[in-house]
Structure 1
Amino acid sequence: MKKVQLYNQLKTVDATRKKRLEHANFILDDTSLIKPLMDIVFMVDDIVSPKAAWVFEFVCAKDLSLLRPHMEYFTAHLTKVHLDSAVRPIAKVCLFLVDEHYTDPLENHTIELNLKQKESITEACFNWLIHDEKVAPKVYAMQCLFLLGHEFDWIHPELILILEKDYHHQTAGFKAKARHIMTALNKH
């Protein structure tokens, strides 16, 4: 299947879990479609981009290792994603990656992030936190930055400043996660 065919197929995706899962399983059955799917995700001004991002999130949730050969491409382009409905799944994929990278070092990691990839994810997460994004990407970004901050000393102080500054202007979901993270950071 070519990218154009995949693009046309992705037009039929809707926000239902059933449709997203159906299309994700199609990609999982033909993993050569991962790169074309990512290409469509990163057509950031196209109305199909969010639909591709929804499917991409489900694919990564099922088998994160499929992203391994495409890590440079993913991290080089993730900061360009800007449509609300595409930002949330991309932020969630970042959380999958960071969470997998920082799991118990004795386990076999699906993903190892290099310094450049961590920097790209860090940049994207801070952008999602400080810009006018919906609460879900902000929560995923907080979680990523909390984990990344265990390796990079400068992240936690910056994260605390942003959370404290924005706390009173945000939703209940943001506040709950911010409280949890600030409590954890104050214990260190």
Structure 2
Amino acid sequence: MTETQWKDEVALISARLKEREALGNKILNNPSYIEFSLKLIQQQDPLIATNAAYGLDIALRKDITLLKPYLKEFLEVLDRNTIATVSRILAKSCELLTTAHTKNNSIALNKKEQQQLITRCFDWLINDEKVAVKVFAMQSIYNLVDIEPWIKPELNAQLTLQFENSTAAFKSRASKILALL
């Protein structure tokens, strides 16, 4: 399938779980579609980028290691994305990625990649984002908390600062992370 054919296919799906899963399974069966999906997300067309992210989300939740060959492109997409729904999906992918790096080392992130993830996740945590994005971001930061000495106190400060005026979901995850810090 060409990139144009992939774009046409992505454009046709709805937000229904069955259609997102079908797209995700196509990515699982042909991981080169990850590159196509990342390019579509990078173009920032709200419908196409969101649909491409839906498929990517399904595939990466099942096998985050598929992202290895496309890590550079993924990190570029993190810096350029401005679509809220896509941010939630990318933040979840960051959590999966950092977990794979720290828990079972199935994805090795170099220092620069770790720093890029930390920077983007702190941006999400500090800025006015949906709670799911913040929750995935704080977990991703925690997963990489030991790479630099400044991360632990900064994460602690951000979670403490936002705790009082946040949602139950934020407080639940923040409480767990604060207890671990």
Name the TM tier (shorter chain).
over 0.9
What residue number does 1:119 align with?
115
What residue number does 1:148 align with?
144
What residue number does 2:180 align with?
184
Whether contact under 8 Å (2:38, 2:77) holds in the other structure is no
What residue number does 2:69 align with?
69
The count of residues paired between Structure 1 and Structure 2 equals 181
Matches within 5 A, 1:33-72: 33-72=33-72
1:163 pairs with 2:159: yes
Shift of 1:45: 4.2
| The 10-residue stretch of structure 1 (115-124 or 71-80) with the greater mean CA deviation from structure 2 | 71-80
What residue number does 2:23 align with?
23
Distance 1:15 1:135 in 2: 20
Whether contact under 8 Å (1:76, 1:120) holds in the other structure is no
Whether contact under 8 Å (2:41, 2:77) holds in the other structure is no
Q: Which consecutive segments of 4 or more residues in structure 1 shift more than 3 A?
A: none
| The 10-residue stretch of structure 1 (170-179 or 2-11) with the greater mean CA deviation from structure 2 | 2-11
Whether contact under 8 Å (1:79, 1:123) holds in the other structure is no
Shift of 1:156: 1.1
Shift of 1:41: 1.7
In percent, how many aligned pairs have the same letter? Answer: 33
What residue ranges of structure 1 are gaps of 5+ in the alignment? none
TM-score where L is the length of structure 1 = 0.90
